[in-house]
Amino acid sequence: MPKRLAYLGPAGTHTEKACLTYDPEATRLPFPSIEAVAAAVESAGADECVLAIENSLGGSVTDTLDLLIHDSTLFIRHELALPITHSLLVKEGTQAKDVKTVFSHPQALAQCRSYLSKHLGGAQRVASMSTSAAVEEMLQRGPDAAAIATERAGHLHGAKVLVNGIEDNPNNMTRFVVMAPTDHPHTGADKTSVCFAFTEDAPGVLHSVLGEFARRKINLAKIESRPTRESLGRYIFLVDLEGHRKDPEVQEALKAVESQVSMFKTFGSYPRHGPPF
């Protein structure tokens, strides 16, 4: 039976492309919010889900981090990284010089800012809830509208690709995580993600906590902070480290960290990114 893979819809987004890369045979189930995506797996309505977690230009996808911290019982089981490219889509017959309005998600509009000012100088930018929704909104308008989305969204909705690859920065990559009820067994080339918070003034303790990893020569791949949602100036720290949480030295370091912090959560261990899975 094919795997049931939940993702943030609609079809035609970069996240759907990540699903296709991860498991082309899976049955893809689009949901309207990341909470609904995770809930589908938690209620066994889907086997796994795919969520964007970090972009090389925009940084962390904070909704996904906050879901991991506050609202989910799932584990990270895989990660994968994909190049992000944007296409300029129009109705059949529309030419670049006709375009007066460009629809897209604010982040995609921002990622194509230089292209838009250079080639569509006077066009007004209009926000959509997703790049795929932008294509639908564009198609409902006159011949003076365009949308920024994936080429696939264009095909799905019957829009025409005017230009591919209009993103300003060629280093545009997004990292996605596959979340599931259990994390991944040891492979020997693993990563582990955890988060923690302090009751005391954070950053002095942070230095001591990072020392637990440094002293065991455990490499940290990432460190990030998120608000606790309680007050300004209180943070939860997220750390990605190299190794599996069942590795003896990782286990020891995590135990030492846990004893110094007021809140600790493991997001799981998983093979380091990219195929092969």
* Using rule CB under 8 A, residue 230 touches its own copies: yes
Binding its own copies by CB under 8 A: which of 71, 96, 118, 129?
A: 129
**Range 150-179, binding its own copies (CB under 8 A):** 169, 171, 173, 175
- Taking Cα atoms as reference points, which of 221, 214, 202 lies closest to residue 260? 202
Do 223 and 158 meet the contact criterion of CB atoms below 8 Å apart? no
Q: Based on CB atoms, which residue is closest to its own copies, 173 or 189?
A: 173
Backbone CA torsion sign across 250, 253, 259, 264: negative
Q: Based on CB atoms, which residue is closest to its own copies, 185 or 199?
A: 199
Q: Binding-site residue total for its own copies (CB under 8 A)?
A: 47
Exposed, middle or buried, 18 (CB in 10 Å: 0-12/13-18/19+)?
buried
**How is 97-143 classified by DSSP, letter by letter?**
GG--EEEE-HHHHHHTHHHHHHHSTTPEEEE-SSHHHHHHHHHTS-T
**Range 9-48, binding its own copies (CB under 8 A):** none
Binding its own copies by CB under 8 A: which of 4, 119, 125, 265?
A: 125
Binding its own copies by CB under 8 A: which of 223, 246, 249, 255?
A: 223
Q: What's the closest the beta carbon of residue 97 comes to its own copies, in angstroms? A: 23
Q: Can you tell me whether residue 189 is helix, strand or coil?
A: coil
- Tell how far CA 239 is from the center of its chain: 16
* Using rule CB under 8 A, residue 204 touches its own copies: yes
Q: Based on CB atoms, which residue is closest to its own copies, 88 or 206?
A: 206
* Using rule CB under 8 A, residue 141 touches its own copies: no
Q: What's the closest the beta carbon of residue 187 comes to its own copies, in angstroms? A: 19
Binding its own copies by CB under 8 A: which of 3, 11, 27, 56?
A: 56
Cα 273 to Cα 85: distance, rounded to the nearest angstrom: 19
Q: What's the closest the beta carbon of residue 203 comes to its own copies, in angstroms? A: 3
Q: Which residues bind its own copies (CB under 8 A)?
A: 54-59, 62-63, 81, 105-106, 110, 125-129, 169, 171, 173, 175, 201-204, 206-208, 210-211, 213-214, 219-227, 229-233, 235
